[in-house]
Structure formats: structure tokens, C-alpha cells
């Protein structure tokens, strides 16, 4: 039941994000996709994940194994607070640390909250940070902050 409630909340939040982003437009066109692309992409991913939670909550465990989405040993509330706190810290340090480093560090506690190992959480966060940076900054030409890595990358 908790999965369905979370899914419904994700759907509502995705719809609200899409509604809020509908009017995003740059006065001067400085990027090919504009400021509307990222919030709409996030809203779509959030709505799809919410739909999945509503339609197929609590996947059953395979015969003699752990569930497909293994629950953590922490109570659900602690995992949710850990994830929410990580996202708040992410927003606070995003500009200073830069996209790749902030995303990698945010993925560590989130991955651990969902039962991932330290190595897997770090690798997933680094892959996510680098992959999304390449997608947005290089392919879609949406400039993301490099933060402290600007010194390594030659400054921007």
C-alpha cells in the first residue's frame, strides 16, 4: 500500500513539475533546448516511476531469493529522510562542487539507503554524474556547473 501512495505522490509531483515548467522560456535564445527541457525530463521520469509504483507495487521475491527491489535493513522512514536530506544537500552544494561531483556524492547515501554497497553506490553515482553531464553539457548543449573540477578541466 505504501508503494501505491508513494507512486500517486510521484505522479502528482511530476504533473505539478510539468505544469510549472510549461512556461519556462529564455528571453534570449542561448541554448538549443532552452530551460524547459530538464524540468520536463525530470517530470516525465518521475511520472513514469510513479506509474510503475501504482501499477506494480511490491515485487515478489524469486523462489528462494531476495526481492527484486531488496528492502533495506533501515525502517522506511529513515531511508526516505536520508534520501530527502541528500537531495537538500545536493541542491546546496550543486553550484560549488559542480554537477559531476555533487551527483556522485548525492548518490552515495541514496544508494546505501536502498541497500547498495559502498562501491556500487559510488560507481553508480559516478556513472550517473558523468553520463548525465555528457548528455546535457556536450550533446544537448545545456551548460552545467563544473564547480571545483573546473581547475582540472581547464576552467570554465
| Predicted pLDDT of residue 43 | 86
In a domain, 67, yes or no: no
| Predicted pLDDT of residue 75 | 53
The answer on 134 and 90 residing in a single domain is yes
Tell me how many domains the chain contains.
2
The answer on 30 and 98 residing in a single domain is no
The answer on 80 and 27 residing in a single domain is no
Q: Which domain holds residue 49?
A: 1-58
The answer on 132 and 77 residing in a single domain is yes
| Predicted pLDDT of residue 124 | 92
Q: Per residue, what are the HEC states of the chain?
A: CHHHHHHHHHHHHHHHHHHHHCCCCCCCCCCCCCCCHHHHHHHHHHHHHHHHHHHCCCCCCCCCCCCCCCCCCCCHHHHHHHHHHHHHHHHHHHHHHCHHHHHHHHHHHHHHHCCCCHHHHHHHHHHHHHHHHHHHHHHCCCCCCCHHHHHHHCCC
pLDDT averaged per 10 residues in sequence order, the chain, 156 residues: 81 89 73 72 87 74 49 62 86 88 90 86 92 84 80 62
The answer on 90 and 156 residing in a single domain is yes
The answer on 154 and 108 residing in a single domain is yes
In a domain, 43, yes or no: yes
Amino acid at each position: 500500500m505504501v508503494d501505491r501512495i508513494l507512486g500517486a505522490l510521484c505522479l502528482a509531483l511530476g504533473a505539478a513539475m510539468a505544469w510549472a515548467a510549461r512556461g519556462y522560456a529564455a528571453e534570449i535564445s542561448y541554448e538549443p533546448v532552452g530551460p524547459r527541457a530538464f524540468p520536463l525530463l525530470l517530470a516525465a521520469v518521475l511520472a513514469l516511476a510513479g506509474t510503475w509504483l501504482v501499477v506494480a507495487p511490491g515485487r515478489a521475491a524469486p523462489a528462494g531469493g531476495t526481492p527484486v527491489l531488496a528492502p533495506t535493513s533501515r525502517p522506511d522512514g529513515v531511508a526516505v529522510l536520508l534520501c530527502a536530506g541528500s537531495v537538500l544537500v545536493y541542491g546546496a552544494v550543486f553550484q560549488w562542487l559542480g554537477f559531476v561531483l555533487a551527483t556522485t556524492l548525492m548518490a552515495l547515501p541514496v544508494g546505501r539507503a536502498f541497500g547498495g554497497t559502498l562501491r556500487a553506490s559510488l560507481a553508480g553515482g559516478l556513472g550517473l554524474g558523468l553520463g548525465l553531464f555528457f548528455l546535457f553539457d556536450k550533446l544537448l548543449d545545456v551548460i552545467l556547473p563544473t564547480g571545483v573540477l573546473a581547475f582540472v578541466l581547464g576552467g570554465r
